[in-house]
A and B are shown apart, each in its own frame.
Chain A
Amino acid sequence: MNDQIVDTATMPTNIPLRILIVDDERINCTLLQAMLRKMGHESISASSGKEALVLLSEWRPDMVLLDVMMPDMNGYDTARAMRLVAEGQVPIVFLTGLNRPEDIIEGLHAGGDDYLHKPIHYELLQAKINTLHERLKLLSKLSLQNIQLEQYKDRIEEDRNIAVRFMKNLSALDRITDSAIKFHLSQAEDFGGDLIAAARSPNNCLHVLLSDSAGHGLASAFTIMPIVEPFYRMTAKGFEISAIAAEMNKRVRKFVKLPRYVAANIISLDLREQTLRVWNGGCPDTLVLDRVGNITHRFKSKHLPLGVINENDFDSTTENYIFRGNACSVFMCSDGVTELRADQDQDLDLGGMLLRAHQEKDCFNYIIKTLGEELRGQPARDDIALLMVDCAEDLNHQPLVGSPFSLSEDTLNAIDVSEPTIDRVTWKMSLVLTAPQLKTLDVVPFLMGITSSLEVKQDDSTIFLVLSELFNNALDHGVLKLDSTLKDHGGMQDYYEERDSRLQKLDNGQIEIELERLESHYGSWLKIKFRDSGEGFDFKAMNKSIKNEGQRYGRGIKLISSVCEQVEFQGNGSEVIAYLDLNG
Chain B
Amino acid sequence: MSNLINVKSVNGIATISLSGKFDFNSQKEFRVAYTPLLQDVTIRTLQIDLANISYMDSSALGILMLLKERAVEAGKAISLCNPNQKIQQILDIANMGKLFKIE
A residues with a Cβ closer than 8 A to B are: 212, 214-215, 258-261, 263, 281-284, 301-305, 308-309, 335, 342-343
Q: Identify which of B1-9, B12-20, B53-61, B74-82 touches chain A.
A: B53-61
**CB proximity to A under 8 Å, residues B55-93:** 55, 58-59, 61-63, 65-66, 69, 92-93
- For the residues of A in contact with B, the DSSP-based class is loop
Minimal Cβ-Cβ distance residue in A for B93: A301
- For the residues of B in contact with A, the DSSP-based class is helix
Question: B57 to chain A: closest CB distance in Å?
Answer: 8
CB contacts (< 8 Å) of A309 on chain B: these are: 99
A259 partner, pick from B55, B62, B92, B99, beta carbons under 8 A: B62
Tell whether, in the assembled complex, residue A304 and residue B58 are in contact, meaning their CB atoms are under 8 Å apart: no
Whether B39 is near chain A, meaning CB under 8 Å from some CB there, is no
Tell whether, in the assembled complex, residue B24 and residue A215 are in contact, meaning their CB atoms are under 8 Å apart: yes
Some 25 contacts from A to B, beta carbons below 8 A apart, are A212-B58, A214-B61, A214-B62, A215-B59, A258-B65, A258-B69, A259-B27, A259-B65, A260-B62, A261-B61, A261-B65, A263-B93, A263-B94, A281-B95, A282-B93, A282-B94, A282-B95, A301-B93, A301-B95, A304-B94, A304-B96, A304-B98, A305-B94, A308-B65, A308-B99
Q: How far is the CA of A342 from the CA of B55 in the complex (A)?
A: 9
B59 partner, pick from A214, A284, A302, beta carbons under 8 A: A214
Q: How far is the CA of A377 from the CA of B96 in the complex (A)?
A: 34
CB contacts (< 8 Å) of A342 on chain B: these are: 55
Tell whether, in the assembled complex, residue A301 and residue B94 are in contact, meaning their CB atoms are under 8 Å apart: yes
CB contacts (< 8 Å) of B62 on chain A: these are: 214-215, 258-261
Tell whether, in the assembled complex, residue B98 and residue A335 are in contact, meaning their CB atoms are under 8 Å apart: no
A283 partner, pick from B93, B96, B99, beta carbons under 8 A: B93
Q: How far is the CA of A247 from the CA of B55 in the complex (A)?
A: 32
Minimal Cβ-Cβ distance residue in B for A258: B66
Question: B94 to chain A: closest CB distance in Å?
Answer: 5
Contacts A215-B24, A259-B63 given; indicate if A303 touches B58 (C-beta within 8 A).
no
Contacts A215-B59, A261-B62 given; indicate if A304 touches B93 (C-beta within 8 A).
no
Q: How far is the CA of A260 from the CA of B69 in the complex (A)?
A: 13
The 9 A-B residue pairs whose C-beta atoms are closest, nearest first, are: A259-B62, A214-B58, A258-B66, A214-B62, A215-B59, A282-B94, A259-B66, A259-B63, A304-B95
Question: B59 to chain A: closest CB distance in Å?
Answer: 5
Question: B2 to chain A: closest CB distance in Å?
Answer: 15
